Amino acid sequence: MARRRPARKIFSWNVNGIRAAAKAGFAEWLAGTRASVVGVQETRARIDQVPEALRAPKGFRANFSSAERGGYSGVALYSRHAPDSLETSLGEPGLDAEGRLQIARFGPLTVVNAYFPNGSGPNRDHSRVPVKLDFYRRLFDRLEPARAAGERIVVMGDFNTAHTDLDLARPKQNHKTSGFLPEEREEFDRWLRCGWIDTFRQGEPGAGHYTWWSQRAGCRARNVGWRIDYVLASPGAYPFVREAQIHSAVYGSDHCPISISVDPELFE
């Protein structure tokens, strides 16, 4: 009987500032992942501001998409091999200027690294909810033909939405909070109804698993958090997924990393 080939890993992490993450040991963490692909969100830096050790870390190719506004948003993709293609636009100038998206092709696999907008505005209102929903819908429409055709797609990142009551510690207190508003949850739910698969929830139906914690004292220690970071797989990709994990013991950000382990054939 042929031996099963070792799994390959895909990671996602909102680092809440790549310069701060660098000081907290991000380079060492990255080297230790042995990952094939790592998507990073909220880099909050132009390429010339990224610490040199993270511009081209040993063993990885790095691609950055920064926001036009300084110290805001931004995503980065680290991969063992250069992607066959890389897109960073949804075709909407306002969204594209915020540096929230990378769509990378690795052979038959499309990896989407996304930092979905927060619905809260500068005055802690819900003024950015329409922008957030526009991003969700435009990305859905961009990917839908490929998903419907059975292509292998993984969408990972900070979705800024807790899907159900299981996905945050205090749902009753947050029904009027952006990130748990009915219209935000419904949009996320629409993705799942249309075939996208929440890889972590498929294997873990229970509560108490979170990826973000307020920086208020004690929240993380008491596990008063939200699960707003996801890896979604298309039906074409999901059969290759072996395991999905939340790495809550990894510090360095107010989010923790998440990952999936996949069959090597996903890339082939």
The set of catalytic residues is 158
C-alpha–C-alpha distance, residues 160 and 138, integer Å? 16
SS3 193: helix
C-alpha–C-alpha distance, residues 88 and 232, integer Å? 19
C-alpha–C-alpha distance, residues 116 and 101, integer Å? 8
Single-letter residue type at 154: V
Joined tokens for residue 114: 């996304």
C-alpha–C-alpha distance, residues 166 and 226, integer Å? 9
Cβ contact 207:166 at 8 Å: yes
From residue 244, how far is each of 202, 203, 210 by CA, in Å?
9, 8, 13
Report the alpha-carbon angle 46-49-53, nearest 5: 120
CA gyration radius, the chain: 17
Cβ neighbours of residue 239 under 8 Å, at least 6 residues apart?
none
Strand intervals (E) in the chain: 8-14, 37-41, 61-65, 75-79, 85-87, 101-106, 109-115, 152-158, 197-198, 212-213, 225-226, 229-233, 241-246, 258-262
From residue 1, how far is each of 237, 240, 252 by CA, in Å?
25, 20, 43
